[in-house]
Structure 1
Amino acid sequence: MNIVMAKIKKIIAQGLFQNLRKIFYMFVSEIPIKAIINQPLQAMGKGRVLLKGDVTFGYAYSKDFYSRCGYIEARSKSAVIEINDNTFVNNSFTAIADSSSITIGKDCLIGTDVQIYDSDFHGLAPDERRSTSGESQPVHISDNVFIGNNAIILKGCRIGVNSVIAAGSLVCNDIPDNVIAGGVPCKVIRAL
């Protein structure tokens, strides 16, 4: 009986801790988010975050659930982040749209620690690195895409319908429909 009570107390304590963290991040966020939020999510910026349909952030039985949060930033007024219906985003997700857009289609699966950026955020020339914000280009992730843990998707990339991006990949070019792609830089491995 003592083991059962200890497990019940642990479950209650973990739930209370996570709910307090979610409330804290809701208060510090600048953009209200209406989604299924299991892991705390901070939404910042002057732009728009559009969640269309059921979008889920976080999973209790995956790494970093209690220790980190998701982060979404539509930095400027022209920035837009759109995530569509039935997309699941795992823990520690980051998406930052500087002055362009990030679009994630419906029915996508996104692993832990995935990062998506529409900009370099700094000029690349040595004398511009601290004075310019860099070039922004839209990122488009099509419907039913599966992105593995720790993948990074950079500005200007399009990932095609049904494609799979392997864990740890660096996507810096377009990926066609219906393929498995992976590596640094990410390249097509084979067709699905």
Structure 2
Amino acid sequence: MIGLAKRAIRYYVNKTGRGKGLFKKFCHPTGFEWANYLARWGGIHSVGKGVWINPGCNIPDPSLLRIGNNVGLSDCTIFGHDGLIGVFEISAGKQLDSVGAVDIFDNCFIGYQAIVMPGRKIGPNSIVAAGAVVTRDVPPGVVVGGNPAKVLCTVEDLIKKIEERCEAYPWMELIRQRGTHFDPDYEPKLKAMRAQYFFGEKANE
């Protein structure tokens, strides 16, 4: 019965664009499902293929956001406006506007609680680390982090570091068999092997 209700909510929301709160609360959409919903009903300027958007991602100005292909957005915030304009209108008697479009190019990832300020360009092939505050354009092929965000290394360097760590992992054969970044059939065995490797004991049952 619950499964039927979830399917009905999912169908209704994707068909009409209404009830997104119900969709998030009861259906727990994946990042790909949420990106598809936002691409159709979220008012984003454009969304490419293979985009993943965590439902906790905050996009106050969707019409000022353009997303390329193979992009992942964690629980980050993408701003397209500067909220202090309302203060200046009263304090300085100024009628102003302060907005800027954000362009996220292909093959980029923006981490947890990162903030991208208006008018910024990200990538292509770049990563914004968790908690970073992006106040300048992010060049292609780099990893940025900090406040304000600065270049930490190249994506190529990061891949090499991850590859080196992977050489010691006893579950890499499972990762290769899995063939995708997530498969629920592989997760129980992977979790057990990771706990054994890092802690020397099985996780609590």
So what's the TM-score if we normalise by structure 2? Answer: 0.56
Q: Deviations over 1:138-182 (max 9, x none)?
A: 111110001111111110101111101101111121110000101
Unaligned ranges ≥5, structure 2: 21-26, 156-205
Q: Which protein has the bigger helix share?
A: 2
CA distance in 2, matches of 1:119, 1:18: 35
1:137 aligns with 2:128: no
Which residue of 128, 147, 155 corresponds with 1:184?
Answer: 147
**Distance across 1 between alignment mates of 2:77 and 2:51:** 16
Equivalent residue number for residue 120 of structure 1: 82
Identity, % of aligned positions: 25
Q: Identify the residue that residue 18 of structure 2 maps to in structure 1.
A: 27
C-alpha separation between the residues in 1 aligned to 2:92 and 2:28?
37
Partners of 2:47 and 2:93 in 1: CA distance: 31
Cα offsets for 1:108-147 (capped at 9, x unmatched): 1111x22112111441537269986741111111100011
RMSD (CA atoms): 3.8
Structure 2 CA distance for partners of 1:183 and 1:189, relative to 1, 3 Å = same
Q: Distance in 2 between matches of 1:162 and 1:56?
A: 23
- Determine which structure has greater relative contact order: mean sequence separation of CA pairs < 8 Å that are 6+ residues apart, divided by chain length: 1
What amino acid sits opposite 1:118 in the alignment? G
Runs of 4+ in 1 over 6 A off after TM superposition: none
| Contact kept in structure 1, 2:30 and 2:54, CA below 8 Å | no
Contact kept, 8 Å, 1:142 with 1:161, in 2: the verdict is yes
8 Å CA contact retained: 2:65, 2:101? yes
User: Contact between 2:89 and 2:95, CA under 8 Å: does it hold in 1?
Assistant: no
* Correspondence for 2:133: 170
Aligned length: 143
Summarize the Cα distance change of 1:152–1:130 in structure 2 as closer, same or farther, 3 Å threshold.
farther
Q: Does 1:97 align with 2:61?
A: yes
Structure 1 runs not aligned, ≥5 long: 1-11, 30-36, 42-54, 59-69, 75-79
Q: Specify which of 69, 72, 75 is matched with residue 109 of structure 1.
A: 72
- The secondary structure found in structure 2 opposite 1:57 is helix
> Which has the larger Rg?
2
Give SS of 1:188's match: strand
Partner-residue secondary structure (3-state), 2:59? strand
Once the two structures are TM-superposed, the CA of residue 86 in structure 1 deviates from its matched residue by: 0.9
Distance 1:130 1:40 in 2: 46
- SS where residue 95 of structure 1 aligns? coil
TM-score (norm 1): 0.59
The residue aligned with 2:29 is 39
Is residue 156 of structure 1 aligned with residue 133 of structure 2? no
